[in-house]
Structure 1
Amino acid sequence: MRITKILTAVLAAALCLGLTLPAAAAKKKVRIAYVEWDCAATSTAMVKAVLQEKMGYEVETLPVSAAAMWQAVASGDVDGMVTAWLPVTHADYYAKVKDKVEDIGVVSTGAKLGWAVPDYVTIDSMDQVNANADKFDGKVIGIDPGSGLMRLSEKALKDYDMNKMELMEGSGATMTAALGDAIKNHKWVVVTAWSPHWMFGRWHLKYLKDPKGSLGKEEHIDTIVRKGLSKDMPEVYAFLKRFHWKSPEQFQMVMAWNQQPGADRYENAKKFMAENPDMVKEWLGQK
């Protein structure tokens, strides 16, 4: 009888330990903010896939405006983001919160902002746009208001005295839709553009020269995390510090996958991981 009671107690203790140990060892949820740009969404989906599929974390991704993204990292409401365009595009945002965040690495080099036109458009410079305003219907097709590219494009209108042109607000999706429609009908169109972006793989485009430098020079896309992440989640911090694309072309390839009909960013991230195991190992610090 006494032996039975002892065995029951031992089993109960074992069951208790078996039920509570996993809960105690549960990993914290990781929260990543991003802007609904193709480059940002692609990198964010890749980070989410690696953290969940390879590292066992639950990841929440939050699409917000650029200003809200920076503020969320600075306040600690999210753990980080992988789409900081520096040193120009997001310079104002970074200056306001630089003491509250940490820049831990370059996600992609070769980043560029500009105005792009189809290659059949016969002008080559931004200082020729205003003289051809009628051909462009007096419009520069833009993206979401408040973005760094739109702020710099407003500056460009003034720098080049484009009094016949208007910058149209929209989104990345509406911009590429307008571009695609114009190309289909062989019409002149000028859009606010950036690289890396899948549209340069789909259509024959060219950047207009920017002799006044209104839209800045070549940039890089960085990973920004909240203060304290290295102590709270050292494994996540180390991964985000190592995460990068091998080249802008590789980055644009995955973005192009995400533009296919019925594409799923997360599934495409898993596809990339399966096809590039050595790169994933490098991100995880396993080689």
Structure 2
Amino acid sequence: MEWKSLLGGTALALVAAQAGWADGEACGKVRIADGGWTDIAFTNATAELLLGALGYESEQTLLGLDVTYVSLQNDQIDVFQGNWRPVQDEQYKSYFDNKHVEVLGTNLAGAKYTLAVPDYVAAAGVTSFGDLAAHAAEFDRRIYGIEPGTNQMLIDMIAADRHGLGDWKVVESSEAGMLAQVARAVEKKEWIVFLGWAPHPMNVNYDITYLSGGDIEFGPDLGSATVWTLSRPGYAAECPNAAKLFANLTYDIDFENHGMQRIMGDGESPPDAARAMIAAEPARLDKWLDGVTTLAGEPALPAVRAALGL
């Protein structure tokens, strides 16, 4: 896949934003995909908070991953902050090859995404994908996943009988449903294998071990990942200022872990968590708003600081 060619048109459009070209009225409402995950709930809330301060309206729509890509292609959604790579690369390769989506930039580096078990299960000898089949009875031949459309790599793994798991089942529910199952298992010291990832408060709330050996399914280094921000085709050319904001919106593991903990552990709403994290680290605004204006074309940083009371 030629990422340079995908980025070329976007880069040119972002030059327009840096030159101070305000977006037109048609760009005033930004349609954002919500994948139903707490990390994207937090990053989307952060984006919405900034967009509102800049004079934009925004609308989030809860969509499965498959529908998200179709919606970007069909001009029903403008932006998606949840393109995890390499785990989504093969399944959605055609969207990039056919230019049905565009890349705005990387929003998170150092993430990971693969199967995990509680530490007491790892201590009993399960530290890799290859160890699972020997303990099928303890796991009840079940792998706990999240939303349908997000677990395809596991479904394909079972269909191909990789790692001897051909008679296993992926339990699809939601992030919250999966974590509730993990919490019940950990409380009773029962065996469970589930999708784990960072950033996420699960890494703080539970003692877990990520399984090695899942390179085919999730990529090397325990599913080491970067998260990219995508847009519908032509968005950066049509709305360069909003696209520039999303290109600037980069996070880190620690920032997202704490923001997600506010939502999942402290019960804050995503907007309240985003506001609290920005208030705690206001220096991030300098980078996020570099080369960005309000919808009306005024300087962004003072407008956002005033709107957020900073």
Amino acid at match of 2:235: L
- The equivalences for 1:113-192 within 5 A come to 113-121=113-121, 122=124, 123-147=126-150, 150-157=151-158, 158-192=161-195
Q: Deviations over 1:133-186 (max 9, x none)?
A: 111122111212221xx1111233321112453221211111100001111111
Q: Deviations over 1:33-55 (max 9, x none)?
A: 120012221111111111113x1
Q: Deviations over 1:11-50 (max 9, x none)?
A: xxxxxxxxxxxxx979611111120012221111111111
> CA, structure 1 residues 25+225, in 2 after alignment: closer, same or farther (shift >3 Å)?
closer
> Using the alignment, how far apart are the partners of 1:179 and 1:240 within structure 2?
34
> Using the alignment, how far apart are the partners of 1:90 and 1:35 within structure 2?
17
* Aligned residue pair count: 260
> Using the alignment, how far apart are the partners of 1:167 and 1:26 within structure 2?
43
Q: Does 1:238 align with 2:239?
A: no
SS in 2 for 1:258: helix
Contact 1:104 1:222 in 2 (8 A): yes
Contact 1:115 1:208 in 2 (8 A): yes
Q: Does 1:251 align with 2:256?
A: yes
Matching residue of 2:197: 194
Q: Does 1:284 align with 2:285?
A: no
> CA, structure 1 residues 90+281, in 2 after alignment: closer, same or farther (shift >3 Å)?
same
Q: Extract unaligned runs of 5+ from structure 2.
A: 1-23, 292-300, 302-310
Offset at residue 76 of structure 1 (A): 1.6
Matching residue of 1:221: 227
> Using the alignment, how far apart are the partners of 2:143 and 2:171 within structure 1?
6
Q: Does 1:266 align with 2:271?
A: yes
> CA, structure 1 residues 25+136, in 2 after alignment: closer, same or farther (shift >3 Å)?
closer
TM-score (norm 1): 0.84
> Using the alignment, how far apart are the partners of 2:87 and 2:187 within structure 1?
33
SS in 2 for 1:263: coil
Matching residue of 1:209: 212
TM-score (norm 2): 0.78
> CA, structure 1 residues 214+94, in 2 after alignment: closer, same or farther (shift >3 Å)?
closer
Contact 2:96 2:102 in 1 (8 A): no
Amino acid at match of 2:216: G
> Using the alignment, how far apart are the partners of 2:273 and 2:49 within structure 1?
9
> Using the alignment, how far apart are the partners of 1:89 and 1:231 within structure 2?
25
Q: Deviations over 1:93-151 (max 9, x none)?
A: 2423541321121111122221110101122111111111111122111212221xx11
> Using the alignment, how far apart are the partners of 1:127 and 1:39 within structure 2?
29
> Using the alignment, how far apart are the partners of 2:26 and 2:152 within structure 1?
43
> Using the alignment, how far apart are the partners of 1:127 and 1:163 within structure 2?
13
Offset at residue 68 of structure 1 (A): 1.1
> CA, structure 1 residues 204+95, in 2 after alignment: closer, same or farther (shift >3 Å)?
same
> Using the alignment, how far apart are the partners of 2:89 and 2:181 within structure 1?
26
> Using the alignment, how far apart are the partners of 1:63 and 1:164 within structure 2?
32
Q: CA RMSD in A?
A: 2.1
Q: Does 1:112 align with 2:112?
A: yes
Contact 1:133 1:164 in 2 (8 A): no
Amino acid at match of 1:155: D
Q: Deviations over 1:55-110 (max 9, x none)?
A: 12111111101011112112221211111112332432242354132112111112
> Using the alignment, how far apart are the partners of 1:227 and 1:211 within structure 2?
33
Structure 1 stretches of at least 4 aligned residues deviating more than 4 Å after TM superposition: 24-27
SS in 2 for 1:277: coil
